Structure 1
Amino acid sequence: MKHVYTGKTKDVYELEDGNYLLKFKDDVTGENGVFDPGANTVGLTMEGAGQAGLRLTKYFFEILKEKGIPTHYIDANVEEATMTVQPATVFGKGLEVICRYRAVGSFLRRYGMYAEEGQPLDAFVEVTLKDDERQDPPISEDALDMLGILSHDEYKELKDITQQIAATVKEELAKKEIDLYDIKFEFGRAKDGQVILIDEISGGNMRAYKQGEYIEPLKLEKLMMEK
């Protein structure tokens, strides 16, 4: 097993069979000790966050598998906080794709002249470049195509699959009377060129509320995994 990458919230290893192993850490993104799924820095360490994030990720990836939505997921070991995935190449140097159902976070900071906090949004899809130095700037479909990061056809596929996955997560959360405000995904190209979901789907990359109160990642995992 060869260590290939150290990330903010997980480490990546290459396996002998050509697949990869993701090792989930207890670090979550945020600033000044406050969790923020859109932050570029590790803000705090929460004991058990790695396992909790993986437990929820496994839950969602297995639902997507049943629905035939393409992801890199193969299997997961929650006890060891590891997930085995198929190889995929990222778009450019990495994109983040956010699906928004409510105006909060960076959407509100940018568009606050027109939007009110918590205002409903119609599964708005936003793509940002993974670029810590430039604070992950949003980028349009035309710019993605012109810069050779993503073609127009791939963008349409990316947007469609993003809305499908977000709708699935929203539906599952609603079963526990939890409202999904926004969720962040990462995508890549599989060996055959297909656009697939990569990384994770956990409390650490979404904002969820219950009766108007924000639910922290670890609490969200507990609520979702309760029988």
Structure 2
Amino acid sequence: MSKPLGKILSEGKTKKVRETENSDVALLEFKDSITVLDGEKMDVLRGKAVINAHISAYFLEILEKKGVPTHYIEFVEPNMMKVKNLEMLPVEIVCRNIAAGHLVKNYPIKEGTLLNPPVVEFYLKDDARHDPMLNEDHFLILGLASRGEVKKIKEITLKTNRILSDALKAKGLTLVDFKIEVGRGTDGKIYVGDEINGDSMRIWEVGTDKILDKDVYRKGGTMEQVLNTYIQLYQKLLGKMPPIRGTKNE
């Protein structure tokens, strides 16, 4: 008989955080929910939890090996990760290499424009206010982080960008942009937390610019098209079919 999971400490739109026997360690459980527009549009995509958990572990393991501090400890089948407990900052950090999404919508920049240097943006996690953009002064006024921490967060973000861009390029993919979240460990240092997968990245196939991320859902694709997109991304990265129903290695 499998060991029962710990109680739920918190739950968001796409993940649950569960307690473990170690107060410094949590279990991050992925859900099959898919959502955009601050949760205004939401569906259940069977198999997404398994796919995103595996892909997040894949990317976080790469970052750890390259010297980026993350909360990742180990993967737990079928759709969980054991992670360090962090004091998460209510901030989303976006790094853009190619103009797309909100950048094109809000600024006079043509979609597909190469951004050199990459653009790093900060957003307050607040659905009611539609995640307003932050600058360094806002961090201080809101008591979110010190100037030194903001500098460190940007350094970590740009290093993460270089590592993920290289990893995806090796798979014939282009990292258009991505979102990460960070938190403070018990040692007071900043760590990359949360997830990194097709929900939090824009990824285009080299040569075709085929979308291999949640944009397919944002743009109104059918649930079958969205699931196939997630499966294709998993295949590109891990070189095999994901272990979900309807696939050969379920």
Q: TM-score, normalised by structure 1?
A: 0.90
List structure 1 segments (4+ residues) > 6 angstroms apart after TM superposition. Answer: none
Partner of 2:86: 88
- 2:173 counterpart of 1:167: no
Supply the distance in 2 between the matched residues of 1:212 and 1:64 (Cα, whole angstroms): 25
| 1:187 CA displacement | 0.3
Q: Which is greater in Rg?
A: 2
8 Å contact 1:101–1:182 — kept in the other structure? yes
Q: Which residue, 218, 221, 224 being the options, matches 2:234?
A: 221
Q: Is the aligned partner of 1:66 residue 2:65?
A: yes
Equivalent-residue separation in structure 1 for 2:126 and 2:57 (angstroms) = 27
What is the letter of the counterpart of residue 28 of structure 1? I
| Matches of 1:222 and 1:136, distance apart in 2 | 32
Pairwise CA distance, 1:147? 2.1
Distance in 1 separating the partners of 2:179 and 2:35: 12
Q: Relative contact order (C-alpha < 8 Å, sep 6+): which is higher?
A: 1
Instruction: Quote the Cα distance in structure 2 between the aligned partners of 1:189 and 1:150.
Output: 10
CA distance in 2, matches of 1:86, 1:135: 28
Residues 1:140 and 2:135 aligned together: yes
Does 2:20 correspond to 1:15?
A: yes
Deviates more, 1:40-49 or 1:138-147: 40-49
CA distance in 1, matches of 2:234, 2:178: 15
Partners of 1:95 and 1:128 within 8 A in 2:
yes
Q: 2:38 aligns to what SS in structure 1?
A: coil
Residue number in structure 1 paired with 2:100: 104
Offset at 1:100? 0.4
Q: Equivalent residue of 2:133, what SS? A: coil
Q: Which residue of 2 aligns with 1:116?
A: 110
Using the TM superposition, name which of 208-217 and 13-22 deviates more.
Answer: 208-217
Assess if the C-alpha contact under 8 Å between 1:203 and 1:221 holds in 2.
no
Q: Figure out how many residues of one structure are paired with residues of the other and give that number.
A: 214
What is the match of residue 34 of structure 2?
28
Aligned partners of 1:163, 1:150: CA distance in 2, in Å? 18
Question: Partner residue of 1:57?
Answer: 56
Paired-residue identity, % = 36
Instruction: Specify the SS of the correspondent of 1:29.
Output: strand
In the TM superposition, residue 3 of structure 1 has moved relative to its aligned partner by 1.1
Q: Structure 1: how far apart are the matches of 2:67 and 2:97?
A: 24
Instruction: Provide the rounded CA distance (Å) in 1 between the counterparts of 2:178 and 2:151.
Output: 18
SS at match of 2:237: helix
Which residues of structure 1 form unaligned runs of 5+? 31-38
Query: What value does the CA root-mean-square deviation take over the aligned residues?
Result: 1.3
- CA–CA distance in 1 between the matches of 2:236 and 2:45? 17
Do 2:66 and 2:163's aligned partners in 1 also have CA atoms closer than 8 Å?
Answer: no
The letter of the residue matching 2:80 is T
